[in-house]
Amino acid sequence: EAGVAQSPRYKIIEKRQSVAFWCNPISGHATLYWYQQILGQGPKLLIQFQNNGVVDDSQLPKDRFSAERLKGVDSTLKIQPAKLEDSAVYLCASSALNEQYFGPGTRLTVT
């Protein structure tokens, strides 16, 4: 069974630039999550989708972050404009029930 795919794996941008991350969940998983993991901390949920609807985006900084899952499968997370404090690993996960399966993450460095 293929796992959760994410791209790119690494990204370096300057502050005020924009960036987008892509996630392809495990086939058949209705729930998709985007997490932000800052160095030394645990993953923090940014947004959770159930199919193509948003279940929870209470911790998403909506002035600069956006996410979509148009057809209920793939998802993109965008940051525009980026700030230095956005440097982190962005994890995508998917689940069918309660167990989440994580992708390898995208390491973002904002300079």
Partner 1 sequence: AQSVSQHNHHVILSEAASLELGCNYSYGGTVNLFWYVQYPGQHLQLLLKYFSGDPLVKGIKGFEAEFIKSKFSFNLRKPSVQWSDTAEYFCAVKRSTGGFKTIFGAGTRLFVKA
Structure tokens at 79: 């940051």
User: CB under 8 Å to 87, separation ≥6 — which residues?
Assistant: 38, 108, 109, 110
User: Of 72 and 81, which CB lies nearer to partner 1 in the complex structure?
Assistant: 72
Structure tokens at 28: 């058949």
User: Among 19, 23, 32, 48, which residue interacts with partner 1 (rule: CB under 8 A)?
Assistant: 48
At which residue do the structure tokens 């987008």 appear? 20
Contact 72, 51 (CB under 8 A): yes
Binding mask 60-89 for partner 1 (x = CB under 8 A): ------------------------------
Does 22 bind partner 1 (CB under 8 A)? Our answer is no
Which residues bind to partner 1, rule: CB under 8 A?
3-4, 33, 40-45, 48, 55-56, 58, 91, 93, 98-105
